[in-house]
Amino acid sequence: MPNVSCLRSLLILLCLIPATLAAQTIQWQEIYPGVWKGVAGKPDDYDLLKAAEITPSQALAKLSKEAFPLNKAEIQVQQNNGKTYLRLPLVKNEQLFGFGLNFQTVHQRGRIMQLHADHYGKTDNGRTHAPVPFYVSSLGYGVFVNSAKYIDVYAGSNVRKDSKNPPEVMDRNTNKSWSAHPYSDAVEMLIPAQGIEIYVFAGPKPINAIQRFNLLSGGGCLPPRWGLGFTQRVHRLYTSEQVKQEAKAFEEKGFPLDFIGLEPGWQSKSYPCTFEWDKSRFPDPAGFVKEMDAMGVKINLWTNPYVSPDAAIYKPILPFTGSHTVWNGIVPDLSMPQARKILFDQFEKEHVKIGVSGYKIDEVDGFDSYLWPDVATFPSGHSSEQIRQTYGLLVQKHSFEMFRRNNARTYGLVRASNAGGASFPYVIYNDNYSHEDFITALINSGYAGVLWTPEVRASKTAEEWLRRFQTVCFSPMAMINAWSSSTQPWTFPEVAAQVKAVAELRMRMMPYWYSEFAKYHYDGTPPFRGMSLEEGFSGNVIKEKTATDLEANPYEEALIKEVKDQYMAGEFLLVAPLFTGQKSRKVILPKGKWFDFYTGKLVGDGEIITISPGLDQIPVFVKNGAIIPMMPALLHAPKAEQKVDLEIRHYGDQNGSYKLYDDDGETFAYEKGIFSWRDIKVEKQKDGKLKGSISNAEANKPSTVGNISWRYMTE
């Protein structure tokens, strides 16, 4: 007969077994060259990619074959109290980027967050407009967890007792190197689901992993040309007459303007919304949109998706809405085809058919006290959490499809997105107004497969106005959002000339911006991105010692200063904005020679420079051999087939090449192959002089290039 202690040991063993058994195998499948999908357990039926209904880009199939970038055995999945625990390896000196649209931090290693769609609340804790569960490692691979749940992330912040790679144990009493954050060898996540779908992207470089991630969502969006011009959002209660006057003022003063955004007052009721025109302010919407179009200005409409009891679609959509209201409006369950048909049919009939060019879809991110709570239920059966994580994707996807049906490209604004949203032509914005945070967000957007605008609203001083304006002209959407301030570009007369100059520069650079967006679309390269993705950049971490106050914080450590105030704009430009009060700043130049954008002069060679550029211009530096195609400073983007003269600039002392993209800029014809790439080359001749050439446009392909002049900026 077994004795009691034997039985007890057996019992203890039996209790331990489930924990070991719960470790799950991941079924890996290489779905494209360098892209693996892994499935463990029983993932949720509804996830981010399903909500986004993505069609992966055909370019994926043409990518280089790469080896799986991690040791598969070190990626572990376990069931843990009804949730899925995921562990991925990390080595020393590896840095992580991504985990959504962060505003204050670029380096994510060591951070703890819960990815949760929300309005950014001034801390990077995972609550953000685009809580994208994707990260990219400095070692050149990316990881994406395809879940529409709130995911807990420990990005190399903790250590397991069974770690194979534990940190050195140190005695704080005697060892000065003791750290409150010892090295952790893993990214750990907790996903509240019975299983997971995970994607691993190979590099070889970090940028290649991002490209693969973006291509999986169909490639980055391709805005219409006019989307890359200037846009003004007018006061919320403007009438059609006032909007016309505004457009006239731009024209008379010679400020570029491609589209005007109407804020809530265009609707008969807002918060909640009717989606119907307010006839007292806009008596003839169709006539108004037509007249604006004749002036070269398109119309974009603000809305949120919460349906007013006074809306014509209230009754029909009611059965397809959630249990809770937002500002007394019902919340369409846009994961249901019935709900989106009713909502977007209304948009199409009332707005798109009369020529409205796009939307600003507000309030789909948070805040908790306004939005539906997590106890809400939705008729699709998807949880409130899942709807919250995907609502931004759903509004983008289905409004975009509506424009596609009408063969008119759109470019608008949205306040929430997520993984899978890269191909939707929407730019994220928010209500925060920190210029510094706005630039950090611009950097992080490139790691998250989203676009971000550091919009200008109002300023205390002319200096601040100009500094903000300069950066928005080097971003995905050059915009003033004057919905409450009624500001205009010339609001501060003392800097109106400089504001105009940079607005004109934005227009002159349109051929460059457009080609860079085409690269986002066709090969997944983010047009605006962080320096870590740049070859030869080594300014990753600067540690700054803070005064140690053990009373206030017994675990205080050196502050890690990240590079979050300079970024890359397209293939060749490094932008180093200044903030109010700053007279000079440091710029970290990656390896190689760099040139001043305005003068073509050499500024440095893989070094840290200090600049004091004055107020007039935003510092922009250009890579050696860069080619920047420019056009005249038109007041409106060129229309389909309009020939435009090019000034092709070359910088530096090296040969250069550039791919110039062309299509009609307005319709979806490019999806049928109606586009062209032209090769621009600048080469040194026998006499040492540089000479430019451009390949001919293919027969029967779009060709809008007029006369060409060449400018060798560094001669």
Q: Give the footprint of ligand GAL on this chain (CB under 6 A).
A: 236, 263-264, 302, 362-363, 431, 481, 483
704-713 burial string, b = 16+ CB within 10 Å, else e?
bbeeeebebb
What separation, in Å, do the N-terminal and C-terminal C-alpha atoms of the chain show?
97
99 torsion bin: left (phi>0), alpha (psi -120 to 50), beta (else): left
Instruction: Count CB-CB contacts under 10 A for residue 549.
Output: 9
Residues 6+ apart with CB under 8 A from 391: 117, 305, 334, 364, 416
Please report how close the Cβ of residue 491 comes to ligand GAL at its closest, in angstroms: 17
Please report how close the Cβ of residue 425 comes to ligand GAL at its closest, in angstroms: 18
Q: Can you give the length of the chain in residues?
A: 715
What does the alpha-carbon distance between residue 586 and residue 588 come to, in Å, rounded to a whole number?
7
Please report how close the Cβ of residue 234 comes to ligand GAL at its closest, in angstroms: 11
Nearer CB in complex with ligand GAL: 34/264:
264
- In this structure, are residues 146 and 449 in contact, taking their beta carbons and an 8 Å threshold? no
241, 479, 557 from 483: Cα distances, Å: 16, 12, 43
* Phi, psi values for residue 647, rounded to 5°: -110, 115
Nearer CB in complex with ligand GAL: 35/456:
456
What does the alpha-carbon distance between residue 581 and residue 166 come to, in Å, rounded to a whole number?
46
Nearer CB in complex with ligand GAL: 100/366:
366
What one-character DSSP code corresponds to residue 451? Answer: -
Please report how close the Cβ of residue 282 comes to ligand GAL at its closest, in angstroms: 17
Handedness of CA 501, 502, 506, 512 (dihedral sign): positive
Radius of gyration of the chain (CA): 26
Please report how close the Cβ of residue 273 comes to ligand GAL at its closest, in angstroms: 11
CA angle 39, 45, 51 (to 5 degrees): 105
Please report how close the Cβ of residue 187 comes to ligand GAL at its closest, in angstroms: 33
Nearer CB in complex with ligand GAL: 219/261:
261
Please report how close the Cβ of residue 289 comes to ligand GAL at its closest, in angstroms: 20
Q: Which two tokens stand for residue 452?
A: 């971000």
Please report how close the Cβ of residue 132 comes to ligand GAL at its closest, in angstroms: 20
Q: Shortest Cβ contact with ligand GAL: which residue?
A: 483
Please report how close the Cβ of residue 242 comes to ligand GAL at its closest, in angstroms: 16
CA angle 222, 620, 563 (to 5 degrees): 90
Nearer CB in complex with ligand GAL: 435/564:
435
Q: State yes or no: cis peptide before 204, omega within 30 of 0.
A: yes
Nearer CB in complex with ligand GAL: 321/481:
481
